[in-house]
Structure 1
């Protein structure tokens, strides 16, 4: 699945018409906090990192990001592509393989 397909599919679950942007931004902060809390517990409380829970919370973050982009009429693929281009410029000799990405 590409990002634009995800964005459109996720949009069918968006509820409400009023204050959608505010709802999505506040939801994003809440879900980002859930991710941060899992990492905090893993790092400082020696809790095993639950990859299933982390995957769920990252999915929730992704949903909110996609809907903020949808509200602003920005294709999600465009956001991903532009971000990779900036990373390639910022880290031209990165070991992470950014120079291998075809855009």
Structure 2
């Protein structure tokens, strides 16, 4: 049975190998603006905003559930982690999340900034179990 720690170690090893492989060949990068252009192309704008918001929120929950299920099977059922499949699921999560933020008028830069600020307040010296247990928010 693979523990969560072992699963994370396997993922990090796959990432290291991917980066090593990327140094051997040219890697095409995609910035946020390009990504938004690509995913907007595949959004169904024929449905109204309320329907889109519902579809996006439910789709996001479903895709996160697929990632959770994949990890559950690795940790508790002895399955191997399939990094390619997980990568596809993370991509689906991004599709739903970025489309949802776009429809709600939420700027991803502001979301990242607010998240980092919250974490700095919560863990000014970095994460610790004590800080986690005694935090105010």
Which TM class, normalised by the smaller chain length? Answer: 0.7 to 0.9
Which SS does the other structure have where 1:92 is aligned? coil
Query: Which residues of structure 2 form unaligned runs of 5+?
Result: 1-29, 128-137
**TM-score if structure 2 supplies the norm length?**
0.62
Structure with higher RCO (Cα < 8 A, 6+ apart): 1
**TM-score if structure 1 supplies the norm length?**
0.81
Which SS does the other structure have where 2:89 is aligned? helix
CA 1:85–1:57 in structure 2 vs 1: closer, same or farther (change >3 Å)?
Answer: same
Asked which structure has the greater CA Rg, the reply is: 2
Tell me how far 1:8 sits from its aligned partner: 4.2
> Which one of the candidate residues 9, 21, 24 is aligned to 2:56?
24
How many residues align? The count is: 94
* 1:67-96 CA-partner distances (Å, limit 9, x unpaired): 11001111122112211121121111116x
Compute the RMSD of aligned alpha carbons.
1.6
Distance 1:81 1:2 in 2: 18
2:40 corresponds in structure 1 to 11
